Amino acid sequence: MKPAASVILFTVLSGAGYGILAVIALAALIGDLPGETAVAVWSLLVALGLVTVGLLSSTFHLGHPERAWRALSQWRSSWLSREGCASLATYLPAGLFGIGWVLLDRTDGVYAFLAVLTGSAAMTTVYCTGMIYGSLVTIPQWRQPLVVPLYLAFALATGSLICSTLFAMLGAWIPWLAWLSALSLLGTWALKRAYWHAIDSAQTGSTTATAIGLGAAGLGAIGLVRPLDPPHSEENFIMKEMGFRVARKHGRKLRRLALHLGGTLPILLVVGAIASPAALASTILLALALPPALLGVFVERWLFFAEATHKVMLYYGRQTA
């Protein structure tokens, strides 16, 4: 599948933003959310800013972005529509909670409830994003059961790392949040490795023979079904959109890059930050962990598209899909 920059940007940035909101909600729930105004303003700005930039960027891949509002209407049947509704619904409790946190210096009682609503709406949105891919039976690598948990895991991991770094930079060092960052990064990338192993060893039941209706035709041993003449001399939309493939050897290299850049390096730096006695050193180490972590997720998301194969390519020369 062709990796679309706008969609990759959306899932990574908005995922991180929603993760931050979920972590803020968790902190409010356990009563350990910093009360400083600067912390409140910056963390909500960053979280909602990431979400908004991501949502706007996702409209760039549309043929008619001016009609994007129509995508809210079919929530009864479409995961994309549900994602749109959930994404907009998150702003309301987030804004109300923000009023309490920033202006009224309150994160308890009804504001804690608003925090939980915000966190739930945020994670629901990420769940819907994952289900858009997980519900497509045409792409076996996306139909894999680990896809939706991985979207949630990456949102939590990137969100907790950004939140932890931001709080530390504003003078609020929270140990459990740093631990959450390290452990969620570890868990997420371990899950991702399991996913890669699963898609590499998966078998699917479709072949070119079943695709052109010869699966049970009673013709005897038809053997290989090979393309003879192409249907058209140029690439068409189907080939451009679904025919993108990254070479297996490149895929292996990129997976290792994503894993170590996004996982190994940031985890080591965060553990170093936790172990470091000086607040400044901890903050610097956290800040150093952030760019490779995000870069690793961008590479992972690119591979999520590039390593996915679509059934329609059975008509264009793939033997199994």
Partner 1 sequence: MTSLPENPSERRLGLVIDLDTCVGCHACVVSCKEWNTGGYPAPLSDLNPYGAGQTGAWLNRVHSYEIGAGETGWGEAGRTVHFPRSCLHCENAACVTVCPTGASYKREEDGIVLVDEALCIGCGLCAWACPYGARELDPVGGVMKKCTLCIDRIYNENIAESERQPACVRACPATARHFGDLADPQSDVAQLVAARGGVDLMPEMGYEPTNKYLPPRALSAPPDAPAARGAAPADRRDEMSADGFWAWLDRVLDDAD
CA–CA distance, 195 with 303 (Å, rounded to integer): 12
CA–CA distance, 180 with 63 (Å, rounded to integer): 40
Q: Binding of partner 1 at residue 128 (CB under 8 A)?
A: no
- CA 201 from centre of chain: 23
Q: Which of 52, 144, 210, 276 binds partner 1 (CB under 8 A)?
A: 210
What letter would DSSP give residue 230?
Answer: -
Least distance to partner 1, CB of residue 136, Å = 6
Pick between residue 31 and residue 218 the one whose CB is nearest to partner 1.
218
User: 188: helix, coil or strand?
Assistant: helix
CA–CA distance, 237 with 163 (Å, rounded to integer): 41
Task: Identify residue 163 by its one-letter amino acid code.
Answer: C
CA–CA distance, 309 with 105 (Å, rounded to integer): 51
CA–CA distance, 38 with 69 (Å, rounded to integer): 34
Binding mask 84-113 for partner 1 (x = CB under 8 A): x-----------------------------
Q: Which of 94, 172, 263, 311 binds partner 1 (CB under 8 A)?
A: 311
Least distance to partner 1, CB of residue 110, Å = 33
Count of residues touching partner 1 (by CB under 8 A) = 64
- CA 208 from centre of chain: 32
**Window of 12-20, 80-88, 180-188, 292-300 that interacts with partner 1 by CB under 8 A:** 80-88
Binding mask 144-183 for partner 1 (x = CB under 8 A): ----------------------------------------
Q: Answer whether 164's CB lies under 8 Å from 177's CB.
A: yes
Q: Binding of partner 1 at residue 229 (CB under 8 A)?
A: yes
Would you tell me which residues interact with partner 1 (CB under 8 A)?
Answer: 1, 61-65, 67-68, 70-74, 76-81, 84, 132, 135-139, 205-206, 208-234, 236-238, 241-242, 310-312, 315
